[in-house]
């Protein structure tokens, strides 16, 4: 999957590991992901969460026959962060033929919870 010229590239996200039941991605906490007061933007957390869930769903479907689209996401931001790196761990809660539901936990370098999210992905025939 080519992520050139995408939001994933623009925010500095990296896929660390990819399995059908676990996607691990990192994202820097820097000028690209800050809100104006200098803290990690909640929207950046959501972008990371949906990216991990979408990549996981893509990895669980046949990309020659299906496309994946986020259709719902929620997020609880539980800790602020000014710098460093956050890590998203996305695990499927439901893998159906037309929808998947993923839980994404975003933590800091000390394994402290920064954000927890749930994302529903639509699996759409081409």
Number of domains the chain is built from = 1
- For residue 73, being part of any structural domain is answered with yes
Whether the pTM exceeds 0.95: the reply is yes
Residue 81 has pLDDT above 90, yes or no: yes
Q: Is residue 119 a part of any domain in this protein? A: yes
User: CA 105 → CA 20, 28, 34, 38, distances in Å?
Assistant: 17, 16, 19, 22
Phi/psi for 4 (5° steps) reads -60, 140
Domain that holds residue 106: 7-125
Kindly report the CATH number assigned to the domain that includes residue 18: 3.10.129.10
Of 49, 45, 50, nearest to 35 (Cα)?
Answer: 45
Q: Is residue 15 part of a domain?
A: yes
Question: Rounded mean pLDDT of the chain?
Answer: 97
Residue 64's pLDDT is 96
Mean pLDDT of 1-8: 90
Catalytic residues: 50
d(CA 44, CA 30): 11
Q: Evaluate whether residue 2 is within a structural domain.
A: no
What's the pLDDT band for 1 if we cut at 50, 70, 90? confident
Domain for residue 1, yes or no?
Answer: no
Residue ranges of alpha helices (H) inside 1-126 are 7-10, 42-59
Note whether 52 and 44 are within 8 A (CB): no
The answer to whether residue 14 sits within a structural domain is: yes
pLDDT in tens, 38-79: 999 999 999 999 999 999 999 999 999 999 999 999 999 999
């Amino acid at each position: 999957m080519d992520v050139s010229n995408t939001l994933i590239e623009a925010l500095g996200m990296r896929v660390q590991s990819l399995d059908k039941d676990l996607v691990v991605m990192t994202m820097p906490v820097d000028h690209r992901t800050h809100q104006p007061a200098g803290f990690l933007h909640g929207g950046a957390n959501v972008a990371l969460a949906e990216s991990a869930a979408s990549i996981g769903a893509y990895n669980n479907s046949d990309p020659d026959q299906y496309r994946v689209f986020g259709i719902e996401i929620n997020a609880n931001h539980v800790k602020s962060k000014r710098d460093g790196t956050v890590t998203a761990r996305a695990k499927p809660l439901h893998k159906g033929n037309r929808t998947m539901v993923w839980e994404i936990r975003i933590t800091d370098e000390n394994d402290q919870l920064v954000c927890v999210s749930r994302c529903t992905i639509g699996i759409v025939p081409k």
